[in-house]
Structure 1
Amino acid sequence: MAFKIILKNSGLFFLGCLIATALEIIFFSPISPDLIELPLASSSVSVSPPNNQLQRVTKLGEGFLKGPEDVAVDENGILYTATRDGWIRKMHRNGSWENWKKQQSQGLLGITTAKGGGLIVCDSEKGLLKFTEDGVTVLASHFHGSEIRFADDVIEASDGSIYFTVASTKFSFHNWYFDLLEAKPHGQLLKYDPSMEETSIVLDGLYFANGVALSKDEDYLVVCETFRFRCLKYWLKGESKGETEIFIENLPAAPDNINLAPDGSFWIALIQVIYEGTEFVHTSKVLKQIIANFPKLVNYINGATKRAAVINVGANGNILKRLDDPNGTVMSFVTSALEFDDHLYLGFLIAITLQIIFFSPISPDLLQLPVVSSVPVSPPNNQLQRVTKLGQGLLIGPEDVAVDENGILYTATRDGWIRRLHRNGSWENWKNLQSQGLLGITTAKGGGLFVCDSDKGLLKLTEDGITILASHFDGSEIRFADDVIESSDGSIYFSVASTKFKRHNWYLDLLEAKPHGQLLKYDPPTDQTSIVLDGLYFANGVALSKDEDFLVVCETSRFRCLKYWLKGETKGETEIFIDNLPAGPDNINLAPDGSFWIALVQIFYEGREFVHTSKALKHVIANFPELVKYVIGPTKSAAVINVGANGNILKRFGDPNGTVMSFVTSALEFQDHLYLGSLNTDFVGKLPLK
């Protein structure tokens, strides 16, 4: 009997608890929910299926940043982001990060650069702020007598007006999921007028007002309603001024931040606010109230935060592109996407890094790969394996060779030495230039040696010392002097491989595949340097014809050599001397019979040519230099060709596997022998031609 009484009383107790819990859930719930309108398959635009494009990002500030929700870039290319620890951090163009300003807040969200300098920030806890070098100013913390509870995103117009969203007027940032569950229009779009220091309403009754962006002409703005899976267009000018219409709806996920792209389209970050299979929760008010009372349940129904997606939407509301990481392998919960200088910057709340897609020091074009040579080419052979090794063990990467009228051979090595080989076979350490960038050399008519120092410019060496002939041109430093030749009238022609990249970053010029090279002329009597050819693709070797009526300059990354006429009816004109070469031409030297010897270097591995047809892959490699060795140039191969004055290939010598010679960069004929320089050997090769 006692057991039955206890059981009965226990049952009443549990029943009472259940009733009390039910009453609390229904009558004391923090939300008063409506049912959410779930998106349909997009009917207005075609959407490409998910892909893995966002897995190819490069990570910036990894481990240094905590949940960078949004990003902004100023006119100087400095990148800003606001993190969960209250820091405004900025990344300078040289890649260094700076802790710029500290705000005692965990709720820094949308940011934008200010027209007059500084940064405008939405602090979900304190309102609309402006950061400058002098400090922090609160622009708007209240509206209509009430605290701005959840400032979210911001944009500044050209007239100085600042538009910013308030995600919810009822719930704070920390309780954002209540707004999702309640599914009522608590959001606003506000306008702050700096001249009047007043805030006014633009749009009210928005469903979690999030990202905001102005159109290119500022005739309308777009505001994202996250929990309605749509964006609205609000007209600022024209006949429709003050009217609102749908910009895009039925999105495959909820829109977060939105940013204007340079071409007038928009980048929108999409976030998952509903797990697949849990949509039924949002069709039941009772379930919503239960979840609101047990916040731990939110993790099971709201937001697959391990996904990432961004879309590019045209000004007409059509989706143009889609980039994804469906499983969050690299990127997750992307909240913003900003395009600047051909790069897409991505911020996200969940991860601890800021990532940028294809961020790199280059702005690449696609490389025009060679087709089969239009002139007959003998198949590869092993002729270069027959060389005699001169100065083996003494020389470090002798890139070029020259021989004077007395038969003395000169070469420049990576340790800064100009060394020469006398007729009796003895080597002499002649001059040391304290440089690792000595490249092309040629003997001077009046004695001495001209040297291209990629670090210092065009030099002349004599027994008396060293003279810098040209270190600057048109007010800019000569960054990458490469090869040189002197004409009979004393004019000195020399190539500049790149006006953008230095020797240490030569591979960036190759990856960028843009014409940064030059051919310059130095006139000793006037001590002046002038331009001969501009817009060359990695200008390398240069040589004069036997009669000096034209010169030939090699464009390494275009697999061709150009002919520039110095005399005759075509003086000043340029034409192709030879193209579609089987590898990139390096140095070129005139042979005694009027033909030319050209060293060929491999600038891509067979089977990996696709890298040079993809801008995205080029960006990735530029950010990870250690990848260069896997895609650019098998340096263990060697090849030289002999080309007639008419541009036809006459001979070809090789060492395909680099058994003896590798990465040959120059070939000079003297007294029936071919002298070979290489950046990859410790000797000069000597090959008999007869």
Structure 2
Amino acid sequence: MAVVEGVKKGGGKLLAPLIAVAPVVIVVALWIVEPFDTSPIPDYDPEIRHVREQNLRVARDLERVAEGLVMGPEDLAYDAQEGAVYVTTADGWVKKVEGVAYGGEIAVRNLSFTGGRPLGVALGPSKEVFVCDAYKGLLKVADNKVEVLSDGAEGVKFKLADGLDVASDGTIYFTDASYKYDLDHHMLDIFEGRPHGRLLRFEPSTGETHVLLKGLYFANGLALSPNQDFLVYCESTLARCVKYWIEGDKKGSTEIFIDKLPGVPDNIRYDGEGRFWIGLATGKTAFFNIMLKYAVVRKAMVIVSKFIMLPEFQMNGGVLAVSLTGEAIALYSDPELSKVTGGIKIGKYLYIGYLDKSYIGRLDLKKYAASAH
């Protein structure tokens, strides 16, 4: 019996360090076998540009427009003549919301079902409706009709056609956020930290698609300037927007339009009154900054997410008003807002789109006024 007790005691002494080391061994093994590889993200700046006016807690004053009729209204395009808004929704529809501009009765009509996930939407010079569908590519839609204009460029298929705008001559400028990851796995593009985005131009007269820029960090929404001599596109991963010159001596060149944004930019819209409106999906939190700064943290998150659901870290989303020269004018945000995709000013109201809500948000800008510059 004494011998047996001795063996038990000796075994216990050996077992204790093994138990202590086991978690480390498991973590190292998971790290080695995990094929997902991350990279440092260059140029990411955790600092936040000063915003002269910050209107926090706007969520309490947001009205809900077309509630229950628009699921995930990702982007909004305004038809001033009809006073209607075209909306892309998570259930695959492009919808027309009537009665928006003049405070009339809201009516929602299904325009066309794309069969994918429509994201960006814009109107052409003759009121044609163009859409970037995350899975289908660049589309032209009409009543129950869908025409695929482009689904790839330079032999590379789009994985996440995203934002677009249309020039007065019908030329369509749009983005492919990632040629590697689709919408269902779009966070992997940000976690990986490599530039898979492209800026593109579609020529309607020839049907050709041209790549204007490569190597963009999750190229998202874009908007043409009022003179259409440049456009501004958003790079979500780097929390910045970049100006791309279309005409003039700088044609084909880029420069920073606004960086150090207080959040992650999604769509951008010009309001015809001297301001761009940039949707911020989430504000910059301490955790978000750490995640983007350290590649090891991002890989760890991917591994952990295979076993447990990661906590929600998106908050302080909203919409940022920016002047034509890239000056931040006013931030409309709230700790309760997240997954905000964009904003468009119509009359005295700011209409807000979301990735996952069942309504369009509406904020009275007379109560929350932004100065014009």
Please report the TM-score for the alignment, with normalisation by the length of structure 2. Answer: 0.85
What is the deviation of 1:684?
0.8
1:331 alignment partner in structure 2: 25
Give the alignment partner of residue 685 of structure 1, picking from 326, 345, 361: 361
Give the alignment partner of residue 645 of structure 1, picking from 324, 328, 351: 324
1:446-503 Cα deviation digits (max 9, x unpaired): 2331111101111110236110011121222110001110011111000111111111
Q: How does 1:257-272 map to 2 (within 5 A)?
A: none
1:533 alignment partner in structure 2: 213
2:348 alignment partner in structure 1: 672
Asked if 1 retains the 8 angstrom alpha-carbon contact of 2:113 and 2:144, the reply is: no
1:378 alignment partner AA: E
Taking the aligned partners of 2:313 and 2:141, their CA distance within structure 1 comes to: 34
What is the deviation of 1:631?
6.4
The verdict on how the C-alpha distance between 1:520 and 1:650 changes in structure 2, with shifts beyond 3 A counting, is same
State yes or no: 1:615 paired with 2:295: yes
Structure showing greater relative contact order (alpha-carbon pairs closer than 8 Å, 6 or more residues apart): 2
Unaligned runs of 5+ in 2: 1-6, 100-104, 367-373
State yes or no: 1:584 paired with 2:264: yes
1:350 alignment partner in structure 2: none
Asked if 2 retains the 8 angstrom alpha-carbon contact of 1:564 and 1:572, the reply is: yes
What is the deviation of 1:508?
0.7
The verdict on how the C-alpha distance between 1:395 and 1:463 changes in structure 2, with shifts beyond 3 A counting, is closer
Q: Report SS of the residue matched to 2:21.
A: coil
Give the alignment partner of residue 78 of structure 2, picking from 403, 409, 416: 403
The verdict on how the C-alpha distance between 1:572 and 1:345 changes in structure 2, with shifts beyond 3 A counting, is same
Give the alignment partner of residue 433 of structure 1, picking from 114, 118, 124: 114
1:639 alignment partner AA: G
Q: Report SS of the residue matched to 1:557.
A: coil
What is the deviation of 1:429?
1.8
The verdict on how the C-alpha distance between 1:356 and 1:598 changes in structure 2, with shifts beyond 3 A counting, is closer
What is the deviation of 1:613?
3.0
2:173 alignment partner in structure 1: 493
1:448 alignment partner in structure 2: 128
2:311 alignment partner AA: Y
The verdict on how the C-alpha distance between 1:471 and 1:300 changes in structure 2, with shifts beyond 3 A counting, is same
Asked if 2 retains the 8 angstrom alpha-carbon contact of 1:478 and 1:499, the reply is: yes
Taking the aligned partners of 1:562 and 1:628, their CA distance within structure 2 comes to: 34
State yes or no: 1:363 paired with 2:43: no
Q: How does 1:15-414 map to 2 (within 5 A)?
A: 327-331=21-25, 355-357=30-32, 359-366=34-41, 369-404=44-79, 405-414=81-90
Asked if 2 retains the 8 angstrom alpha-carbon contact of 1:599 and 1:640, the reply is: yes
The verdict on how the C-alpha distance between 1:547 and 1:384 changes in structure 2, with shifts beyond 3 A counting, is farther
Asked if 1 retains the 8 angstrom alpha-carbon contact of 2:111 and 2:144, the reply is: no
1:655 alignment partner AA: D
What is the deviation of 1:368?
5.2
2:102 alignment partner in structure 1: none
What is the deviation of 1:545?
0.4
Asked if 1 retains the 8 angstrom alpha-carbon contact of 2:75 and 2:88, the reply is: yes
> Whose Rg is larger?
1
1:656 alignment partner AA: P
State yes or no: 1:521 paired with 2:196: no
2:280 alignment partner in structure 1: 600
Q: Report SS of the residue matched to 1:459.
A: strand
Taking the aligned partners of 1:479 and 1:685, their CA distance within structure 2 comes to: 29
The verdict on how the C-alpha distance between 1:307 and 1:668 changes in structure 2, with shifts beyond 3 A counting, is same
Q: Report SS of the residue matched to 2:53.
A: coil
What is the deviation of 1:603?
6.5
Unaligned runs of 5+ in 1: 1-296, 309-324, 333-343, 347-354
State yes or no: 1:562 paired with 2:256: no
Asked if 2 retains the 8 angstrom alpha-carbon contact of 1:384 and 1:653, the reply is: no
Taking the aligned partners of 2:16 and 2:189, their CA distance within structure 1 comes to: 37
Taking the aligned partners of 2:78 and 2:138, their CA distance within structure 1 comes to: 19
What is the deviation of 1:616?
2.5
Asked if 2 retains the 8 angstrom alpha-carbon contact of 1:605 and 1:631, the reply is: no
1:687 alignment partner AA: L
What is the deviation of 1:410?
1.1
1:418 alignment partner in structure 2: 94
2:191 alignment partner AA: L
1:53-85 Cα deviation digits (max 9, x unpaired): xxxxxxxxxxxxxxxxxxxxxxxxxxxxxxxxx
The verdict on how the C-alpha distance between 1:591 and 1:429 changes in structure 2, with shifts beyond 3 A counting, is same
1:202 alignment partner in structure 2: none
Asked if 2 retains the 8 angstrom alpha-carbon contact of 1:450 and 1:458, the reply is: yes
The verdict on how the C-alpha distance between 1:569 and 1:401 changes in structure 2, with shifts beyond 3 A counting, is same
Asked if 2 retains the 8 angstrom alpha-carbon contact of 1:561 and 1:577, the reply is: yes
Q: Report SS of the residue matched to 1:609.
A: helix
What is the deviation of 1:372?
3.3
What is the deviation of 1:652?
1.6
2:334 alignment partner AA: D
Asked if 2 retains the 8 angstrom alpha-carbon contact of 1:604 and 1:631, the reply is: no
Identity of aligned residues (%): 31
2:57 alignment partner AA: N
The verdict on how the C-alpha distance between 1:433 and 1:613 changes in structure 2, with shifts beyond 3 A counting, is same
The verdict on how the C-alpha distance between 1:629 and 1:644 changes in structure 2, with shifts beyond 3 A counting, is farther
Asked if 1 retains the 8 angstrom alpha-carbon contact of 2:74 and 2:355, the reply is: yes
Asked if 1 retains the 8 angstrom alpha-carbon contact of 2:264 and 2:284, the reply is: no
Q: Report SS of the residue matched to 1:328.
A: helix
Give the alignment partner of residue 481 of structure 1, picking from 157, 161, 164: 161
Q: Report SS of the residue matched to 1:507.
A: helix
Asked if 2 retains the 8 angstrom alpha-carbon contact of 1:621 and 1:628, the reply is: no
Q: Report SS of the residue matched to 1:331.
A: helix
Taking the aligned partners of 2:284 and 2:309, their CA distance within structure 1 comes to: 10
Taking the aligned partners of 1:382 and 1:427, their CA distance within structure 2 comes to: 29
Asked if 2 retains the 8 angstrom alpha-carbon contact of 1:673 and 1:689, the reply is: yes
Taking the aligned partners of 1:582 and 1:475, their CA distance within structure 2 comes to: 36
Asked if 1 retains the 8 angstrom alpha-carbon contact of 2:74 and 2:119, the reply is: yes
1:545 alignment partner in structure 2: 225
1:227-255 Cα deviation digits (max 9, x unpaired): xxxxxxxxxxxxxxxxxxxxxxxxxxxxx
The verdict on how the C-alpha distance between 1:475 and 1:327 changes in structure 2, with shifts beyond 3 A counting, is same
1:32 alignment partner in structure 2: none
1:114-168 Cα deviation digits (max 9, x unpaired): xxxxxxxxxxxxxxxxxxxxxxxxxxxxxxxxxxxxxxxxxxxxxxxxxxxxxxx
Asked if 1 retains the 8 angstrom alpha-carbon contact of 2:262 and 2:284, the reply is: no
